[in-house]
Amino acid sequence: MAVKPRFVPACSGFTLLEVMVALAIFATAAMALTNVAMQYTQATANAVLRTKAQFVALNEISTMEINREWMTGTASKQLTQQGETWQIDKSAQATISPNVQRIEVQVSLMNTETGKVEAGITHLTFFNAKVASL
C-alpha cells in the first residue's frame, strides 16, 4: 500500500510583515482617535467654563436691574459662584438718552493660588435704564 503524500499549502497564516503592517495601521488609528477624544474633552471643559461665566455675568446684570443700580465709571469685584472664583469688571458709558446707560460686563476666571486673573471668559453688554421712583 502506497502512502499518499499530504498536500501542504505553501502559504498558511500571516507573515510577520503582514502582522507588522496591520499593527502599524492600528496604532496610527488609535493615536488619531486618542487625539480626537482629548480635543473633545478639552472643548467640553471650555464650553462648561464659558457657560458658567455667562451665568455669572447674567446674575450680575440681574442684580443690578433688581437693585436699580446706576453706575458711574468702572467697578470691579471678585466673587465665588458656580464652583469658581471670578473677577467681574463693569464699565458704564453714557448714551444719547440721559436715562439709559450702556454697561459692559467682563467676567474673568481667577487663579486662587496666584490671586491673578487667568483669562477673560465672557463679555456682555446691556443697557441699563433709570426707573422713576414710585
Q: What is the pLDDT of residue 127?
A: 87
Cα–Cα–Cα angle for 85, 89, 93, nearest 5°?
160
Q: Is residue 95 part of a domain?
A: yes
Question: 89: domain CATH number?
Answer: 3.30.1300.30
Q: Is residue 77 part of a domain?
A: yes
Q: On the CB side of 57, how many CA atoms lie within 13 Å of its CA?
A: 22
Evaluate whether 120 touches 107 at the Cβ level (below 8 Å).
yes
Domain range for residue 105?
17-129
Q: Is residue 134 part of a domain?
A: no
Q: What is the pLDDT of residue 9?
A: 60
For each of the chain's 134 residues, which pLDDT tens digit applies? 666 666 656 666 778 888 999 999 999 999 999 999 999 999 998 899 899 999 999 999 999 989 988 888 999 999 998 888 999 999 999 999 888 999 999 999 988 888 788 877 888 888 888 876 55
Q: Is residue 11 part of a domain?
A: no
Q: Is residue 88 part of a domain?
A: yes
Cell of 121: 471668559
pTM exceeds cut of 0.75: no
The set of residues, in sequence order, having a beta carbon less than 8 Å from that of 81 and lying 6+ positions away, is 52, 55, 56, 59
Q: How many domains does the chain have?
A: 1
